[in-house]
Amino acid sequence: MNKIITIQQAVDKIEDGMTLMIGGFMVCGSPTAIIQALVEKGVKNLTVICNDTGFPDRGIGLLIANHQVKKIVVSHIGTNPLTIDQMNKGELEVEFSPQGTLAERVRAGGAGLGGILTPTGLGTQVQEGKQIITSQGRQYLLETPLRADVALIKGSVADESGNLVYKGTTQNFNPLMATAADLVIAEVDHLVETGRLVPESINTPNIFVDYLVERQ
């Protein structure tokens, strides 16, 4: 199977109302070319699972600025005043999840687990509406797993079969999200022939990656 597609072919697979996972942290490690193409397509009513909403003019923030997102599941929004404004106006539903909890919820979704137990958030607004479970004399919140229709992730280098390597902090959320969506599209900086990557350098095996888009 040829996994290499164009950006246009990638965004054609994303429809109104879908749930997307988008990798990265403060734009670093985010698939910015695909995000820009989504803005141009105008797909709307998206639910986005991400660490943050970037900035008004970069990364996921472009989707927010264009009012394409109806709900976000996120650890913080402080770097994007547009997200805060839309939340306060009731135009955007925001589900806050502590960063480590968010990562573990994604991991649980990818591993087929029923959720995770964490003490983080007990006694705060994070606790509202959640089940409290006592284990070995301690209380924990039951945090449910997260999955998506499509994960949009960013790799530094990929081979043609879909094995991915992430450089530095671009790993943030990308390896986890690659396991937790029905369809995984990876935007990559460089493509090499299959067999060129040192096996122990591979961060995400090709079995998790459906399509590759080489950034131009």
Q: pLDDT of 19-34, one tens digit each? A: 999 999 999 999 999 9
DSSP-derived 3-state class of residue 194: coil
Q: State which H helix or E strand residue 116 sits in.
A: strand 116-118
Q: Which residues make Cβ contacts (< 8 Å) with residue 151, sequence separation at least 6?
A: 20, 21, 22, 23, 177, 178, 180, 181, 183, 184, 185
Per-residue pLDDT, 28: 94
Q: Using CB atoms within 10 A of its CB, is residue 76 exposed (0-12), middle (13-18) or buried (19+)?
A: middle
Q: Look up the pTM and report it.
A: 0.95
Across residues 4-10, what is the average pLDDT? Answer: 97
Residue 52's pLDDT is what? 97
pLDDT, mean over the chain: 96
Annotated domain spans of the chain? 7-117+128-155+167-187
Does residue 205 register a pLDDT over 90? yes
pLDDT in tens, 94-144: 999 999 999 999 999 999 999 999 999 999 988 999 999 999 999 999 999
Q: The domain 7-117+128-155+167-187: what is its CATH number?
A: 3.40.1080.10
Q: Across-strand partners of 191?
A: 158
| DSSP letter assigned to residue 174 | H
Q: Which of 124, 122, 157, 125 is nearest to 140 (CA)?
A: 122
Query: Residues 197-212: what's their mean pLDDT?
Result: 97
pLDDT at 216 over 80: no
Looking at residue 125, what is its pLDDT? 86
Q: Is the pLDDT of residue 74 over 80?
A: yes
Give the pLDDT confidence score for residue 9 in this predicted structure. Answer: 97
Percent of the chain with pLDDT over 70: 100
Compute the half-sphere exposure of residue 169: CA atoms within 13 Å on the CB side of its CA.
Answer: 5
Say yes or no to pLDDT of 151 above 80: yes
- Tokens standing for 109? 């979704």
pLDDT, tens digit, 9 for 90 and up, residues 43-64: 999 999 999 999 999 999 999 9
| pLDDT tier at 8, thresholds 50, 70, 90 | very high
> Under the phi-then-psi rule, with left for phi > 0, alpha for psi from -120 to 50, and beta for the rest, what region is 45?
left
